[in-house]
Chain A
Amino acid sequence: MALEAPAILVALEQSALGTAIRQSVWIYPAANTVHILGLTLLAASVAVMDLRLLGAFKETVPAAVIVPARRLAMLALTIMVLTGLVLFTAEATHVAMNPVFQIKMGLIGLAILNALVVQRTLPAVLIKSPAMTPLPTRFRIAAAISLAIWFCVAAAGRLIAYF
């Protein structure tokens, strides 16, 4: 049998909010659906951002693609976190002890860390990066890592139900 979940998660799941989410006919399916809509938006904006860093759409000025795509990615991530919290609250103890969920959270942490590291030096580089010119290798590596991690996050999210 699974290990017991921390008391705080038991409390969260059994809270009035947790019960309300489970007992509502529409809250859970709505949160589930918007979570996936957020995923499509996140995947799309991350793909555009990372592919541009990698050298795709090279006729465009990098900043003109990357800056708005990044903003969209952050909006999408916010949507996913909010709806994800609703889904999590309904089944906090089960979900938290799920190994695939734990992997997913770890991967999200890595992806955000990667994005934060990139963001420390990228803006200064973008200001003087014209079209048709490859970006520094370290950004291309970071973009490939980002794409790979977000792909795995999406896969892990889908697989929580099977483990």
Chain B
Amino acid sequence: MLRRIGVAAAFLLAALLPASAHHGWGSYDAGKMVTVEGKIVTTRYENPHVTLTVEAQDKTWTLTLAPVSRMRNRGATEELVAPGKVITAVGYVSTRDPDELRAERITVDGKTIEMR
């Protein structure tokens, strides 16, 4: 009885693990790297993810960056991504919101910082 439940549970876990191995790219188009460059308009330096709005040539983007603690640890302080700064972000576009970019790395003031 217990063994059968154990086997069933192991199968279920195995089926779920690939999806949760890391905070995945499910709702982002991981097949296409997109670069967004522009001026930061607003900064929300908040958990669970820091978000910026950036005025690029084509449109206003919403950039999703890392959690606050990681941003700080890597030197991406609130001052570095303050409104008015020029930012270059490379990342993947949301499959649900064509104006949202999930940044893999950002470059501000000549500093390039990884977000993952």
Contact = CB atoms under 8 A, between A and B. Distances in A.
Contact of B67 (A29, A147, A161, A162): A29
Interface residues of A, number: 26
B79 to A, nearest CB: 15
A82 interface: no
Interface in B1-51: 1-2, 5, 9, 12, 16, 19-20, 23-24, 26-27, 44-48
Contact of B46 (A22, A26, A32, A162): A22
A159 B23 CA distance: 10
Contacts of A147: 5
B116 to A, nearest CB: 15
A51 B6 CA distance: 11
B69 A56 contact: no
Contacts of A27: 47
A90 interface: yes
B56 interface: no
B16 A155 contact: yes
Nearest to A31: B47
B23 to A, nearest CB: 6
B72 interface: yes
Contacts of A56: 1-2, 5
A153 to B, nearest CB: 13
A23 B46 contact: yes
B47 to A, nearest CB: 4
Nearest to B44: A22
Contacts of B9: 151
A19 B72 CA distance: 19
A162 B30 CA distance: 14
Interface in A19-74: 19, 21-29, 32, 51, 54-56
Given A28-B47, A155-B16, 4 more contacts: A26-B69, A28-B48, A90-B47, A162-B19
